[in-house]
Amino acid sequence: MLPEIDLTDAASLPEGALKTFPTPDDGPQVLLTRQHGQVHAFAPNCLHYGAPLEKGKVVNGKLICPWHHACFKVKDGHLCEPPALDDLPTYAVREAEGRILVQVPASPPASTDKPEATPTAEVGGVPPAPAPAPADTRTFAIVGGGAAGEFAAQTLRREGFAGRVVLVSADEHAPYDRTKLSKAYLAGKAKPEALPLRAAEFYAQQRIERLQNTRVIGLDLEKREVQLEGQPPLHYDQLLLAPGSTPNQLPKLPGHDLPGVLLLRTLSDANALLAATKDARQVVIIGSSFIGMEAASSLIAVGRAVTVIAQEKVPFERVLGPEIGQLFQQLHESKGVRFEAEAEVSELLNEQGYVAGVRLKSGKIIPANAVVLGVGVRPATEFLKEAFTLEDDGGLAVNANLQAAPGVYTAGDVARFPLAATGQPTRIEHWRVAQQHGQVAARNMLGQQETYAAAPFFWTQQYGKSLRYAGHAERWDKIIYHGDVAKQDFLAFFVQAGRIVAVAGMGRDTDMLYITELLSLGRMSTPAELRPGMSWAERL
């Protein structure tokens, strides 16, 4: 039995408190909470990027992280929602004679409190138990080793599936954190070791077979076979399609395929971009998408001169509205990024076989040693054209259980699913949504009938400033603001047909945590009920 540490006075932990305590001799910190009179003890940092969980909240028996809303069951630390991947370590704790006593292992899983760049693998949680012996002869195939694919594979094991799990991925790398590519990785703050979602041993221990660098080129629904490029077909009993997105190019423009014109989707893309911009003085980014703007923020941070060329008047205007767009534009300009707004590119200039600049339709020329395209993505569903009737944008329609056909499920960027809040078929390109889809689809592959009911959530980080966004608004009638957008401290409520359908927030992590829950539960306030400074906790 581990020695008990006398952590604190029981009175210092009132009902509902969530607080981190030090241990003697600079030992590991311990997070305590008291819920319904009972004390629970945990590792203090989130397993995703190390957020201090004492700044999170306990809602309906779940401990929710303040940054990207991973959540863990209070009773046992069990992971209930991504983007964390593992259970939160818990410690034995008891109260005696007015003191709180905790047993903390000598070397508990490392926990960190770094800015939002800490990799999952470094933080160290409690991964699923080793996969059970292969008592089941079924093969569950997953196409796509990204956010949705990885989470689906681990969910199959968490749910006790003992058959074969095959993860097929066109990427040459094992599943990694794509969201870091445009942020910490491009800014030189995250090393390559910080990118994999899982250590290699994880897949062996979980008996997840990875077919890396393997492209799926077709699907035979009748034979239940996935056709692989240059390899025999793979039979499946249940199939998950999670191939994500392909970045758009500028194919109609002269010079679109010159060396030095770069995309940013994969780790290989990011490595090529790092190599091409290493000695580049001037980088032009075409498109003020999230990826383009995050790349701008990272490249400015490493001393490049960056110009963003955008069709919009201000960045993110169509997603976040002009006020928040302006905030981001000013933030970028204050760091030295130049903007060519409402501009269109007519040509990429060629100098000795390498890109040398961009000509705008206005005739203006912007010199460049490298050009990054951030002009949107489309579902990577070319290989599904014969098996399914795809949507106009290449998406694949699924029902509320994320099912596309008998035995076939779809998750992540490609899935057009009925959004719980509106019932409308919707396609969403967010990391956490893809993981949640992976979780729901995996459970349904095992015979459950789960629907995806959460409010979509995403974040972006530029110059260390994080914007969080919950819900979904492709259009809106008005935006109601609480706080001050210019001071980077606000909530923005997107109102459509008299309902709040989405909320964006900066500097309001606690509010955003509660609001995301309310949107997920379908209990969001009406516009008329909004009051500055209102208590969101009370509504839950």
Ligand X SMILES: Cc1cc2nc3c(=O)[nH]c(=O)nc-3n(C[C@H](O)[C@H](O)[C@H](O)COP(=O)(O)OP(=O)(O)OC[C@H]3O[C@@H](n4cnc5c(N)ncnc54)[C@H](O)[C@@H]3O)c2cc1C
By CB under 6 A, name the binding residues for ligand FES.
Answer: 46, 48-49, 51, 65, 67-70, 83-84
User: In the complex, what is the shortest distance from the CB of residue 68 to ligand FES, in angstroms, rounded to a whole number?
Assistant: 3
Verify binding: residue 412, ligand X, rule CB under 6 A: yes
Question: In the numeric block, which tokens belong to residue 427?
Answer: 């396609």
Q: Which is nearer to ligand X, 119 or 243 (CB)?
A: 243
CA angle (240, 241, 245) in 5-degree steps? 150
Q: Which residues inside 447-466 make contact with ligand X, applying CB under 6 A?
A: 458-460
Interacting residue with ligand X among 90, 155, 182, 206 (CB under 6 A) = 182
Q: Which of 244, 325 has the CB closer to ligand X?
A: 244
Smallest gap from residue 330 Cβ to ligand X (A): 21
Backbone φ and ψ for 469, nearest 5 degrees, come out as: -140, 130
Q: Which stretch binds ligand X (CB under 6 A): 163-171, 309-317, 499-507, 508-516?
A: 163-171
Q: Is 158 in the site for ligand X (CB under 6 A)?
A: no
Give the end-to-end CA distance of the chain in Å, rounded to a whole number.
40
Q: How far apart are CB 84 and ligand FES at their closest, in Å?
A: 6
* CA 529 – CA 241 distance, rounded (Å): 41
Report, in Å, the least distance between residue 123 CB and ligand FES: 9
CA 74 to CA 80: how far, in whole Å? 10
Q: How far apart are CA 147 and CA 3, in angstroms?
A: 40
Instruction: Provide the minimum distance between the beta carbon of 414 and ligand X in the complex, in angstroms, as a whole number.
Output: 6
128 binds, among ligand X, ligand FES, none (CB under 5 to 8 A by kind): none
**Residue 51: contacted member of ligand X, ligand FES, none (CB under 5 to 8 Å, by partner type):** ligand FES
Q: Are strands 208-211 and 164-168 parallel, antiparallel or unpaired?
A: parallel
CB of 457 to ligand X, least distance (A): 7
**Which amino acid appears at position 24 of this protein?**
P
Q: Please state, in angstroms and rounded to a whole number, the distance separating the CA atoms of residues 475 and 478.
A: 9
Tokens, residue 9: 């006075």
Q: Where are the alpha helices (DSSP H) in 361-447?
A: 431-445
Strand arrangement of the beta sheet that strand 57-59 belongs to: 57-59, 62-64, 71-73, 79-81
User: From CA 495, how far away is CA 481, in angstroms rounded?
Assistant: 11
Applying CB under 6 A, which of residues 276, 380, 387, 513 lies at the interface with ligand X?
380
Of 123 and 441, CB closest to ligand FES: 123
Query: Considering CB distances under 5 to 8 angstroms, the limit depending on partner class, which of ligand FES, ligand X, none binds residue 83?
Result: ligand FES
Strand partners, 397: 416
Which residues from 124-153 bind ligand X, rule CB under 6 A? 143-149
> Least distance from C-beta 120 to ligand FES, angstroms?
9
Size of the site for ligand X (CB under 6 A): 36
DSSP readout, 237-257?
A: SEEEE---EEE---TTSTTTT
Using CA atoms in the order 41, 44, 49, 52, what is the torsion angle rounded to 10 degrees? 120
Q: Give me the least distance between CB of 498 and ligand X, in Å please.
A: 28
Question: Closest separation between CB of residue 34 and ligand FES, Å?
Answer: 22
Residue 145 binds which one of ligand FES, ligand X, none, with CB within 5 to 8 A depending on kind? ligand X
- From the list ligand X, ligand FES, none, pick the one residue 46 interacts with, judged by a Cβ distance below 5 to 8 Å according to partner type: ligand FES
Closest C-alpha among 4, 9, 7 to residue 23: 7
Please state the closest distance from residue 48 (CB atom) to ligand FES, in A.
3
Nearer to ligand X, 91 or 176 (CB): 176
Q: Within 10 A of 162 (CB to CB), how many other CB atoms are there?
A: 16
Q: Which of ligand FES, ligand X, none sits in contact with 216, Cβ below 5 to 8 A by type?
A: ligand X
The least distance separating ligand FES from the CB of residue 177, rounded to whole angstroms, comes to 11
Residue 412 site contact among ligand FES, ligand X, none (CB < 5 to 8 Å, cut-off depends on kind): ligand X
Q: State the residue number with the nearest CB to ligand X.
A: 146
Closer of 58 and 396 to ligand FES (Cβ): 58
In this complex, which beta carbon is closest to ligand FES, that of residue 123 or of residue 492? 123
Residues ≥6 apart with Cβ < 8 Å to 481: 323, 490, 491, 492, 493
Residue among 432 and 482 whose Cβ is closer to ligand X: 432
The answer to whether 215 and 170 are in contact (CB under 8 A) is yes
Residue 65 near which of ligand FES, ligand X, none (CB within 5-8 Å, type-dependent)? ligand FES
Instruction: Tell me if 170 contacts ligand X by CB under 6 A.
Output: yes
Task: Tally Cβ neighbours within 10 Å of residue 351.
Answer: 12
Q: State which of positions 208-267 bind ligand X (CB under 6 A).
A: 215-216, 242-245, 264-265
Distance CA 57, CA 236 (A): 41
Helical residues (DSSP H) of 137-252, grouped into ranges: 147-158, 200-205
Alpha-helical runs (H) found in 395-494: 431-445
The strand pair at 139-143 and 164-168 is best described as parallel
Contact 299, 305 (CB under 8 A): no
Closer of 182 and 288 to ligand FES (Cβ)? 182
Nearest to 307 by CA among 353, 378, 359: 359
* Antiparallel, parallel or unpaired: β 396-397 and 261-262: unpaired
Residues lying near ligand X in the complex (CB under 6 A) are found at 143-149, 168-171, 178-179, 181-182, 215-216, 242-245, 264-265, 291, 380, 383, 412-413, 429-432, 434, 458-460
